[in-house]
């Protein structure tokens, strides 16, 4: 069953990221949108895995293949276009660096590549064409780990075990933010707790029924996410203790199952379904804009990113990403 509320969360998440990256002045910490995506991913992957386990037909290989088909085709198209550009229009050193990043993005370890180069919020990050793929790498690493966790942990002990693992990851994340903010930002151990929050939300919902919380909590959750994107900034590192707010807000929405007419509007539905393509395509335009000091044309680059994301969704995602 299609979840319009989950789709609406994707819209909020991707637009907070895009608005922040293009510096449109609304979200000071639009990067919280990535945390929203992480929670959603944990929730949906747990649904897929536990259904297979309950039906005694779960296959780790089939699960991995499905995730590959869902993620890689749009990413590969972006990489091909980007490769042509950097070969034709940039110098040799930039070509070499770009292909190093391409390699790590396709093999889903780009989060650690960028970790050892510079921080996400450093000025140098604005010159990295595929910097945004770090989050795809973290998600992929989690996808490979989650089935193993759910298989090894006895069904009766899942809630407690996942809760303890979440708390350990959260504690590690907060401490790491103080000691090494780049490691905390990019690494799976410090990011895993947000995805585990989605896992926990689904397991509780599966046990207690779909609408665990009343609608009020769903609206509170949306406000928590939006305010987090507006109020916080990167000065104290991210993730930190305040990251709990957008993560918990996302959990509230998922466990409420808000049924709101505006969520079913065709424009909202389309934007949510095409959010992955928009996430992929917006960042290279941000890099191009800042590398060439073209900030006065921000509106044009936003439009171009949106047009290409629509093309990607229509001709790549809808045709090739059926899993």
d(C-alpha 29, C-alpha 13), whole Å: 11
d(C-alpha 323, C-alpha 160), whole Å: 31
DSSP-based three-state secondary structure for 294:
coil
CA-based nearest residue to 137, from 167, 112, 172: 112
pTM of the full structure: 0.96
DSSP-based three-state secondary structure for 27:
coil
What per-residue confidence (pLDDT) applies to 183? 92
Asked if 69 and 45 count as a contact pair (C-beta separation under 8 A), the reply is: no
**What counts of helices (H) and strands (E) characterise the chain?**
15, 0
DSSP-based three-state secondary structure for 11:
helix
**How far is residue 314 from each of residues 20, 26, 290, measured CA to CA in Å?**
25, 29, 28
Measured over the CA atoms of residue 76, residue 82, residue 88 and residue 92, the dihedral's sign is negative
What per-residue confidence (pLDDT) applies to 28? 82
d(C-alpha 206, C-alpha 152), whole Å: 19
Asked if 14 and 268 count as a contact pair (C-beta separation under 8 A), the reply is: no
What per-residue confidence (pLDDT) applies to 282? 97
CA-based nearest residue to 44, from 11, 66, 14, 76: 66
Asked if 32 and 230 count as a contact pair (C-beta separation under 8 A), the reply is: no
Two tokens at 2?
């299609």
CA-based nearest residue to 5, from 252, 303, 299, 188: 252
d(C-alpha 244, C-alpha 179), whole Å: 19
Angle of helix 134-152 relative to helix 188-208, nearest 10 degrees, comes to 50
What per-residue confidence (pLDDT) applies to 238? 87
Print pLDDT tens along the chain (323 aa).
Answer: 789 999 999 999 999 999 999 999 888 888 999 999 999 999 999 999 999 999 999 999 999 999 999 999 999 999 999 999 999 999 998 999 999 999 999 999 999 999 988 766 665 678 899 999 999 999 999 999 999 999 999 999 999 999 999 999 999 999 998 888 889 999 999 999 999 999 999 999 988 766 667 888 999 999 999 999 999 877 767 899 999 999 999 999 999 988 889 999 999 999 999 999 999 999 999 999 999 999 999 999 999 999 999 999 999 999 888 64
Within 274-323, residue ranges assigned H as helices are 275-291, 298-312, 318-320
């Amino acid at each position: 069953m299609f979840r319009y509320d989950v789709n609406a969360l994707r819209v909020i998440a991707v637009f907070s990221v895009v608005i922040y990256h293009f510096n449109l002045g609304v979200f000071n910490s639009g990067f919280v949108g990535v945390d929203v995506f992480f929670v959603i991913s944990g929730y949906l992957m747990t649904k897929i895995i536990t259904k297979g386990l309950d039906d005694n037909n779960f296959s780790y290989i089939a699960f991995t293949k499905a995730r590959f088909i869902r993620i890689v085709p749009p990413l590969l198209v972006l990489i091909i276009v980007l490769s042509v550009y950097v070969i034709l229009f940039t110098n040799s050193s930039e070509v070499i660096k770009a292909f190093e990043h391409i390699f790590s993005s396709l093999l889903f370890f780009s989060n650690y590549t960028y970790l050892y180069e510079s921080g996400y919020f450093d000025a140098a990050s604005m010159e990295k064409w595929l910097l945004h793929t770090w989050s795809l790498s973290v998600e992929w690493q989690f996808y490979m780990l989650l089935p193993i966790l759910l298989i090894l942990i006895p069904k009766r002990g899942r809630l407690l075990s996942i809760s303890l693992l979440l708390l350990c990851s959260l504690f590690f994340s907060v401490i790491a933010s103080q000691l090494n903010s780049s490691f905390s930002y990019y690494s799976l151990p410090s990011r895993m707790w947000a995805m585990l929050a989605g896992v926990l939300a689904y397991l509780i919902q599966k046990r207690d029924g779909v609408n665990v919380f009343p609608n009020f909590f769903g609206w509170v959750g949306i406000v928590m996410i939006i305010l987090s994107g507006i109020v916080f900034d990167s000065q104290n590192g991210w993730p930190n203790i305040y990251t709990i707010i957008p993560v918990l807000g996302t959990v509230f929405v998922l466990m409420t199952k808000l049924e709101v007419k505006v969520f079913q509007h065709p424009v909202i539905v389309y934007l949510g379904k095409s959010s992955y393509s928009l996430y992929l395509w917006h960042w290279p335009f941000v890099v191009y804009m800042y590398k060439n000091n073209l900030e006065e044309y921000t509106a044009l680059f936003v439009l171009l990113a949106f047009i290409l994301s629509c093309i990607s969704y229509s001709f790549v995602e809808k045709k090739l990403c059926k899993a």
